[in-house]
Each structure stands twice: as structure tokens, then as C-alpha cells.
Amino acid sequence: MQFYKAPPPPINPRQVTQNVFIITIDGVRWQEIFTGADSLLLNDEQYTPDAATLNSMYWSTTSEERRKKLLPFFWNVIAAKGQLYGNRNYKNRMNVANSYAKSYPGYNEILTGIDDPEISSNQKIQNPNINILEYLDKQPAFAGKVAAFSSWDVFPYILNSERNKMVINAGYQQYDEQSKTIISSVENGVYDKQATRYDDLTFITAKEYIKKKLPRVVLLGFGETDEFAHDGRYDLYLEQAAKVDKMIAELWHWVQTTPGYKDNTTFIITTDHGRGSKKSKWTSHGEFIKGSSQTWMAVLGPHLEPLGEVKEPTQIYQQQIAQTVAHLTGLPFENEEIAPAIVLK
């Protein structure tokens, strides 16, 4: 997707914030975000072995109630104080611009603002594109105040850890405070997963670091929703989405009760790609699976209008997020190749 060369939207001084948290939830469909649990998948024993329990937890006859049951923070807090984009039932569309609809291309797009056709797979290669995190880390006001924590172990490559000195903690790595190095903890055999660690561990690691180091820009990437979907476990996919909603709520509560962050921090929450929209294809995503490019975004911050669920017909793209983050910090990303910022109200 190429944007016409037009004057970029001006920075709105009222929206400039001291801190920005970029939160990604891997492979979560817009359907669950805006309409809650899908009855076709919820009542299929192949995908939901204990349908009775999951129905009692997440089912209701209206989409408004279903989504509140699944994601109470999204629909009780963000819907009241923030903005949600991507409900295609109102022709409010958000998409990836890349044609591959896979994780690495999606995260590259979110963080660099560039749809790079050379990044077409999840292969562990160092990203040649400059990302918004390292751009901000080089600015005097943000130097040493940028950090990334992700469950997926490909993030050091997406962020090109060889090119910058940011704190990047992903997969089964631990941050050694004394030596300032990242060390692997897979060898001890405690955990049975390799590429994607438990989101709970990612969250705990990130929150402890945030409390101790007080960074201004944080990337927090959750990954287990995508894993459970690929495994065909709709029940675990829903449960993990609900867990992540609770973790984001906990982090927001901490932010709003901590000096320096309170009323001066903006959350941008999104996903890297969609999934198949048909029942038989929901476990997968890719360039030939319909629905894979369809995404969503939630924004919560003290300097934004509380629009809630945005119902205006529009089209925005993931690659606009990088410049949007830059605008929120008051430091536009100086790169003519990247997509313009989303005009937030």
C-alpha cells in the first residue's frame, strides 16, 4: 500500500504525551474484539472441548454483552475513555498494508511505518528498516528510556538488536541487571516452550522493569493467542485474550496511580495480522486466506477525545502506527518513506 505524497498531518500539541506504551496481541481477530465469542467456534467440540463452561463464561445473546464478558477492560474502560477502531460492521476498517499477513511483516509495518516486500516470512533476519523505538531512543529526551518485552523470540530481529542498544527482552531470555546483558534461560529445562514464552512471564518481566527503570516508551508484545489459534483451541484462544485484557488493565491501573505516568501516558493496543474469517480457516492466516489482513486498534490516553467505538466509515493501516507514536511524543519520524500518522481526535 502506497500513500499519496501529501502534506503530513500536523502534530496536535494537545495530544503530545510524556509516555507511550505500544501493546500488541498476536493474531486476535477483530470479530472477537467487537462482537465477542463466535458461536460457531464456541459450540464446536473440535475447537472448544468444554463448550458448557466456555458458554457460561463468555456467551450472551448480544454482541455488546459478549465482548464485555470477554474483554471487560476494553469495553468498560477504553470504550468509555478511549477510542476503538476496526469494527467492519460499521465500515470502520483497519488493515495491514503488506500482502503476506504474517507476524514479522506485520510487526515490521507497525514499528517502522514501511511495507517492505522483502520481509515476507517469519525468518530470523535482522530488520534493515529503522523502527520507531530506536528512532526515539536516539533522541535526547528518550535516550535510555525505551524498552521492548515480547513473548515471541523473533523480536530482537524485528527490532534489529545488533544495530541498537535498547533493552530488548524476548522469548526465554532474562535481563541480567548487573552485567546489563540478556541471557537465555531455556537451558534449565523448566519451560516446555521455545519460540514463544508464556505471556504471564513477559508481563511480569516488563512490569518489574517498568517499575524499577521508569521508561518513557515501552513495547509489550503478547503472543500466546496466536499459538492457541494455530493449535485449533478456540477455548484457550478466548481465555488468553481475556487474560491479556486483565494484564493490560493491571498495567493501566499502575500507570494511573504512579507519579510521572498518571494522566501523562498513552496506550496503543493492536495486533500484527488478522485470521481466516470462515470457520474452517480461523486457525490460519496468510496472503491467500480471506480476513487475514483485517486488524484493529485501541487507543487510551488523557489527551484524546473519549470517542469509544468509532463508527465512522474509514480506512486506516497498520503502517500508520509508527508515525502516530512519533506524533504522540512530539517528535515526528523523519522519514519520507513511512506512512503518515493516523489523525486522532
pLDDT in tens, 11-60: 676 778 999 999 999 999 999 999 999 999 999 999 999 999 999 999 99
Q: In what order do the strands lie in the sheet with 217-222?
A: 167-170, 146-150, 217-222, 19-25, 265-270, 297-300, 83-85, 308-309
Which alpha helices (DSSP H) does 59-178 contain, by range? 63-70, 72-73, 79-81, 103-112, 132-137, 155-158
Q: State yes or no: pLDDT of 129 exceeds 70.
A: yes
Determine the Cα angle at 226 with ends 240 and 79, to 5°. Answer: 55
Q: How confident is the model at residue 8 (pLDDT cuts 50, 70, 90)?
A: low
CB atoms within 10 A of CB 76: 12
Tell me: pLDDT of 177 over 90. no
* The predicted structure's pLDDT at residue 336: 77
Q: How confident is the model at residue 183 (pLDDT cuts 50, 70, 90)?
A: very low
DSSP 294: B
Query: Looking at residue 193, what is its pLDDT?
Result: 61
Compute the distance between CA of residue 291 and CA of residue 285 in angstroms, rounded to an integer: 8
Q: Residue 3: is it exposed, middle or buried by C-beta count within 10 angstroms (0-12/13-18/19+)?
A: middle
* pLDDT tens-place string over residues 315-329: 999 999 999 999 999
Contact yes or no for 169/177 (Cβ under 8 A): no
Residue whose grid cell is 527482552:
169
Taking only the tens place, the pLDDT of each residue in 254-295 is 999 999 999 999 999 999 999 999 999 999 999 999 999 999
**Sequence letter at residue 56:** S
Q: Residue 180 pLDDT > 50, yes or no?
A: no
Residue 192 has what pLDDT? 56
**CATH fold group of domain 13-329:** Alkaline Phosphatase, subunit A (3.40.720)
For the entire predicted model, the pTM comes to: 0.93
pLDDT > 70? residue 190: no
For residues 211-240, give the mean pLDDT.
Answer: 97
12 or 147, greater pLDDT:
147
Burial class (CB in 10 A: 0-12, 13-18, 19+), 294: buried
**How far is it, in rounded angstroms, from Cα 133 to Cα 217?**
7
Output the pLDDT for position 181: 43
146, 138, 143, 103: which is closest to 123 by C-alpha? 103
pLDDT band at 4 (very low <50, low <70, confident <90, very high): very low
- pLDDT category at 296 given cuts 50, 70, 90 is very high
